[in-house]
Amino acid sequence: MSVLLLNEGVSNMPTGYISIGSNIDKEKHIPASIKALTGLYGRLTLSSIYESESMGFTGDAFYNLVAAFESNLDIKKIVDQLRQIELDNGRNRDCKKFSARTLDLDLVLYGDVIINEGRIQIPRDEIEKYAFVLEPLAEIAGHLRHPVTQMRYAELWEIFDKSDLKQHRVMPVW
C-alpha cells in the first residue's frame, strides 16, 4: 500500500474523498489536480495510482486514484471547486459519460453525509460499481463504513467481483 501525505496537519473537520481520473495527458493533468487540491484543502492523503482500461468506449487507459482531505466547506462549494479544476485542465463538460477526458474529479464521500440532490450524490454509487473507485478508496479508507450499507470499504473490495478486473497499480514517473 502506498499512501502519500502532503502538508501534514490534524483537525476535527469532516473528511472528504475525491475520485480522480484522466486518460488524456494524464501525466500532466493528474499532478496538476493534486497541486490544485492541495492549494484548496491543504493536506491530502493519496491512494496508489491505478491504470484501468476505458469503460463504455474504446480509448486510452485511465489513471485513477482517490484523494482524502479535510474541510468544513459546504458540499456544493466543494463540487463547484472540483468542476473549476476540471475546466482549468481542459475538461469538456459536453462530453458523454463514457468518453475520454483530461480530468474527472468526483466527490464520492464527505464524512457520513448522505445526499442525492440534482447533480450531487453522496455517497456516489460508483463506489460499489467500479473497481477504479473502490480499490483506491479501500486502500486509504478500508476501515471506514459506507454510510448506507454500513459495510467497511475493505469488505466491499473483498467481495467485489474481480473476475474481469482490468486494472493494476502503476508508478508514474512524475
Q: What is the pLDDT of residues 32-52, one digit of tens each?
A: 999 999 999 999 999 999 999
Q: Convert the pLDDT of each residue in 89-106 to its tens digit.
A: 987 656 555 568 899 999
pLDDT recorded at residue 7: 43
* CATH superfamily placement of domain 4-170: 7,8-Dihydro-6-hydroxymethylpterin-pyrophosphokinase HPPK (3.30.70.560)
Q: Which amino acid is at 114?
A: I
The arithmetic mean of pLDDT across residues 48-65, rounded, is: 90
The answer to whether 21 and 62 are in contact (CB under 8 A) is yes
Going from N- to C-terminal start, the domains of the chain cover 4-170
How far is residue 36's CA from residue 153's CA, in Å, rounded to a whole number? 27
Closest CA to 52 of 124, 135, 110, 127: 135
